[in-house]
Amino acid sequence: MTKSELLDKIKRAEKNPLIDASLKASLLKKYNAQLAELEKEEPKKESKSEGSVGKKSKIKDWYLKEYSSDKLGKKLNDDSTFSDLLIAISKGNDVYAVLGVADSVVRERAFAKLSKIENKEGQWAYNMWLSNDEDSEGKKETSKAKTDDLASVRVIANEMAKNAGFKSAKVDDLGNEAYLIEISPSSTKDDSQDGMVLNKYKDGTFEVAEMQAGKGGNFINVFGEYKTLKPALTQLLKGNKQKPIKVIDMRSDSEKSENKKEPSAKYKVGDILWHDTKHKGEFKKVIIDAVTGFTGDGHRYDVEFVDDEDKRINKFAKSYDDLLSKTKPKSEDKKETKSEETEEERCQKIIRDAKAASKKARESAKKSAKKPEVTKAKERIERTYEIIENKIEKGSLTKAEVAKLIVETKEVLKMLEKALKSL
């Protein structure tokens, strides 16, 4: 197996979202060990420029000497140094922008050389890049995504798509700092990617969505919104068999109203009902002549009044669901009138009950001659207190009744105070 083949395997293992972390780590360990053995076998090639290359050395100059057969070497940035590459890795900036070429093999070769310059292990630069890569795990956020370069986006998107079993990722530049990514399915049997897109907006947001979703294709299902590319791509690769975080209705107002189903009328023609004629509890019998429309809250009816024998009286009116009922409701006006008429009477009854209880207490005290007069009086007051307390708990006292009892109680207190002063 050649070095380039191993690098390709490492690349695919790193980017494959479908294998778990433990398996990925095992594969990378195996491939890196094989890569290390191959590198040992070509010491002369590696040492060709070893001594003269440092952090201030230009990457392009080194690469053209070391990998003269690679045509991508000519496309590298003329002025980028290994120091620039180190800064980009450390700060989480776009390493492809530093290199000038969005190619993972070129990147790995430059990383390996940087590690040697820094006297670190072969994977040191790569591991640092991975740990500082905000896109790799979606754990870090920066003010600017590392994927503003469209060439880099195409490389990353295609790598992830192919590793997940898809033919390719189509990346279109929409202009105005925005682009759109589509995944091409590898098989016509798999429809999970139908309508799936990844939109990158001017503010840097990556939106994973399904276009033309739902009945009639008039909806957009949004499955996720991210600040970085790779988590968004991972979400995109899951397809449309997932629950959206929000659904956007693209129908016009007229389309929405046309599709809205009107509920069935509560009453039908011929029904004899009670109709609230003035919205104040004055109910009269009517018959439904027609259902004339739907107001949004309920139906509207043409009604005709009927007599006690359900015969029409030739008087028409409009009525609504909330004004009609099958049975005659109880009038609340009568209840209020009755309450007003008996309020004074009820108050007097309470007073009479209290006096009767007091009288009963006096009679009881006579039978018990041993009790002091003070005790007897106290018992009478306690019984009166219990009667009033029970009525308060039951809610049977009105405001007027309570006020009257307060006045009378104050009179009793005044009498007791006067008696006290005379003693």
35 and 109 part of one domain: yes
Domain count, the chain: 4
Order across the sheet with 283-294: list the strands.
312-320, 299-306, 283-294, 272-276, 324-325
pLDDT at 400 over 50: yes
Q: Report if residue 330 sits inside a domain.
A: no
User: Do 43 and 123 belong together in one domain?
Assistant: yes
pLDDT in tens, 406-419: 887 888 788 878 87
266 located within any domain: no
Q: Within a domain: residue 196?
A: yes
pLDDT at 48 over 50: no
Are residues 316 and 345 located together in one domain of the fold?
no
In a domain, 89, yes or no: yes
Same-domain pairing of 102 and 199: no
Q: Is the pLDDT of residue 60 over 90?
A: yes
123 with 11, same domain? yes
Amino acid 120: pLDDT: 84
If asked whether residues 240 and 156 sit together in one domain, one would say: yes
DSSP output for 25-89: HHHHHHHHHHHHHHHHT-HHHHHTTTTT--TTSBHHHHHHHHTTT-GGGGGS-SS-BHHHHHHHH
Top pLDDT among 85 and 400 is at 85
State residue 372's pLDDT score.
64
165's tokens: 């079993």
Query: Which range marks the domain in which residue 349 is found?
Result: 339-422
408 found inside a domain: yes
Residue 370 has pLDDT above 70, yes or no: no
* 410 inside domain: yes
Residue with tokens 């590793």: 163
The whole-angstrom separation of Cα 136 and Cα 138 is 6
Residue at which a domain ends, from 143, 178, 209 = 143
Q: Do 195 and 238 have their domain in common? A: yes
Instruction: Look at residue 162 in the predicted model and tell me its pLDDT.
Output: 75
Domain match, 174 and 48 both: no
Q: Residue 296 has what pLDDT?
A: 63
Q: Are 276 and 283 in contact (CB under 8 A)?
A: yes
Same domain, 379 and 293: no
pLDDT, residue 61, reads 93
Alpha-carbon distance 123 to 129, whole Å? 10
Whether residue 332 lies inside any domain: the answer is no
Helix segments in 250-372, DSSP class H:
253-259, 332-367
Largest distance between two CA atoms of the chain: 130
For the chain, the first-to-last Cα distance in angstroms comes to 122
| Same domain? 286 vs 305 | yes
- Together in a domain, 65 and 171: no
Q: Is the dihedral of CA 135, 141, 147, 153 positive or negative?
A: positive
Instruction: Answer yes or no: do 213 and 320 share one domain.
Output: no
- Residue 260 — very low, low, confident or very high, per pLDDT cuts 50/70/90? low
Predicted TM-score (pTM) of the model is 0.33
Q: Using alpha carbons only, give the angle 394, 399, 401 rounded to the nearest 5 degrees.
A: 80
Residue entry with tokens 């028409």: 316
* Any domain includes 331: no
**Three-state SS at 11:** helix
Rounded to the nearest angstrom, the gap between the alpha carbon of residue 14 and the centroid of all alpha carbons in its chain is 33
